[in-house]
Amino acid sequence: MTDEYREFEAAGAAREFDAASADRERSPVTAEHLPSDSDIETSLRPTSLDDFIGQPRVREQLQLVLRGAKLRGGTPDHILLSGPPGLGKTSMAMIIAAELGTSLRLTSGPALERAGDLAAMLSNLAEGDVLFIDEIHRIARPAEEMLYLAMEDFRVDVVVGKGPGATSIPLEVAPFTLVGATTRSGALTGPLRDRFGFTAHMDFYEPPELQRILDRSASILGIDLRDDAAAEIAGRSRGTPRIANRLLRRVRDYADVRADGVVTRAVAQAALEVYDVDPIGLDRLDRAVLGALVRSFGGGPVGVSTLAVAVGEEPATVEEVCEPFLVRAGMVARTPRGRVATQAAWLQLGLTPPPEAATGGIEVRAREPQLELFEDDPDTTLEGGVDPSDPDDPDVRR
- Asked if residue 89 belongs to a known ligand binding site, the reply is yes
- Annotated catalytic residue 89: yes
Q: Does residue 134 carry a catalytic annotation?
A: yes
* Distance, CA of 173 to CA of 175 (rounded, Å): 6
Q: Is residue 77 a known part of a binding site?
A: no
Let me know: does 184 contact 374? Beta carbons within 8 Å.
yes
Taking CA 16 as the corner, what is the angle to CA 14 and CA 17, rounded to the nearest 5 degrees?
65
The answer to whether 205 is a known ligand-binding residue is yes
d(CA 344, CA 346): 6
CA distances to 51, 291, 293, 358 from 286, rounded to whole Å, are: 33, 9, 11, 19
Q: Was 195 annotated as part of a binding site?
A: yes
Question: Is 86 annotated for ligand binding?
Answer: yes
As a whole number of Å, the end-to-end CA separation of the chain is: 51
**167 marked ligand binding residue:** no
> 154 a known binding residue?
yes
Of 138, 193, 236, 242, the active-site residue reads 242
* Closest by CA position to 130, among listed 92, 83, 182, 73: 92
Q: Is 44 annotated as a binding residue?
A: yes
Residue of 37, 129, 134, 286 marked catalytic: 134
Cβ-based neighbour number of residue 68 at 10 Å: 12
Catalytic annotation, pick one of 24, 30, 89, 177: 89
Q: Which of 75, 90, 335, 381 is catalytic?
A: 90
Nearest to 35 by CA among 50, 24, 46, 47: 24
Quick check: is 90 catalytic? yes
User: Annotated catalytic residue: which of 107, 177, 183, 240?
Assistant: 183
Mark the binding-site residues, compressed into ranges. Answer: 44-45, 86, 89-91, 152-154, 195, 205, 242, 334, 339
Catalytic residues: 89-90, 134, 183, 242
Binding-site members for ATP are 44-45, 86, 89-91, 152-154, 195, 205, 242
From the annotation, which residues make up the binding site for DNA?
A: 334, 339
Q: Which residues are annotated as a binding site for Mg(2+)?
A: 90
